[in-house]
Amino acid sequence: MPKKSKKEDSSDSDSGPDDKEPIKKKFKGDSSSYRTEDKEPTWDLGKSRFVKVTDFKGKVYINIREFYNSDGDLKPGKKGIMLTGEQWQRFKASVDEIDEEFKKAC
């Protein structure tokens, strides 16, 4: 098998559903939240990172992912994580402790 070049290894792309540029349709009055063309609730974290509530293969996930621009369309990259409902609940329960540790570290 031929070796991959560093350029190939650093690709942020992966196969999966093609997400298009978010169409900013605001909801709940939050300036950073909107729905994309595929109706997914989306929150912009900045620097091409988004949080989405995603239905994938019949299950709902919290998808925190970095996107890349491909010919004017935003597409999901490899860098990210999809949390199940249980993982999301555990994460939310830990946020205060994480925030305290973050403040100590700064």
Sheet holding 41-46, edge to edge: 25-26, 33-35, 41-46, 49-56, 59-70, 73-83
pLDDT at 16: 45
Q: Given pLDDT bands bounded at 50, 70 and 90, which one contains residue 60?
A: very high
Q: What pLDDT is attached to residue 34?
A: 78
Q: How do residues 77-102 score in pLDDT, each as one tens digit?
A: 999 999 999 999 999 999 999 999 99
Structure token pair of residue 9: 């290894």
What is the tens place of the pLDDT at every residue in 5-49? 444 444 444 444 444 444 444 445 455 677 777 788 999 999 999
Q: Domain 12-105, what architecture?
A: Roll (2.30)
| Domain range list for the chain | 12-105
At 89 the pLDDT is 98
